[in-house]
Amino acid sequence: MNITERLRYLRHHVTMVWPRYRLSTGDFRTGLGPSAWLLHGLVRSLRPDVVVEIGSARGWSACHIGLALRENVHGRLYAIDPHGDTAWNDSGGADASLPALRRHLRAMGLEGYVEIIRADSQAAARGWNRRIDLIFIDGDHSYAGVKADWDLFSPFLTATGVAVFHDTTWELHRDDPRYRADMGVPRFVDDLRRQGFPVITLDRDCGLSLVQAPAGGRPLLP
């Protein structure tokens, strides 16, 4: 790396200081919490071309992903959310989620890396033809809903693409006052595990599980 490239690299990362600070100190009222930095780290290391998010709300995960894309100076996030009332909205009401998402993306200079798709996942999947390097599934948490999200978009995962599911460890914490018996994510992800899909689960912030297709795992030998 010559001196010009070093200076360009330094300037780029200096400009990232303010967005990182804003993200670290922001209040997005989300259950994902600091585990969103796992998404950021995955994007920084994978350097994906295409990231899909199902369930954006006010943009906590979208901003972590978008910031990593901006740091990479590469890739795009397709943030899918109907931004309407559902059984799975974060606290604070759905009517304010879209303006908040746009405001947060704009404040951190991420608009060029994040495309908002205001639609449910079934509508967004119609005509979808892009290969996906990373998908974050955090939308409809019923069993049928999360299964539909997986069935719609997992066929587009690249050979080493990764799916990340939120809210996968609720069944391990039934004494939590926020527990819901209709939460279907743990059962669906455990079904994938039983079918042989590699699953790694972190029991933090309601549970994050990383899943990679195909069943049985990606062969590492020719």
Distances (CA, A) of 219 to 46, 67, 155: 19, 32, 18
Average of per-residue pLDDT across 173-199: 95
pLDDT at 152 over 90: yes
Task: Look at residues 20, 132, 10 and name the one whose alpha carbon lies nearest to residue 70.
Answer: 20
pTM: 0.92
pLDDT at 93 over 60: no
pLDDT of residue 91: 54
Query: For the purposes of burial, counting CB atoms within 10 Å of the CB of 16, is it exposed (0-12), middle (13-18) or buried (19 or more)?
Result: middle
pLDDT at 101 over 70: yes
pLDDT at 120 over 60: yes
Q: What is the set of domains in the chain, with CATH numbers?
A: 3-211 (3.40.50.150)
More confident residue, 128 or 84: 128
- What confidence tier does 23 reach under pLDDT thresholds 50, 70, 90? confident
pLDDT at 13 over 80: no
pLDDT at 6 over 70: yes
The pLDDT tens digits for 38-82 are 999 999 999 999 999 999 999 999 999 999 999 999 999 999 999
Q: What percent of the chain has pLDDT over 90?
A: 77
Residue 141 corresponds to which amino acid? H
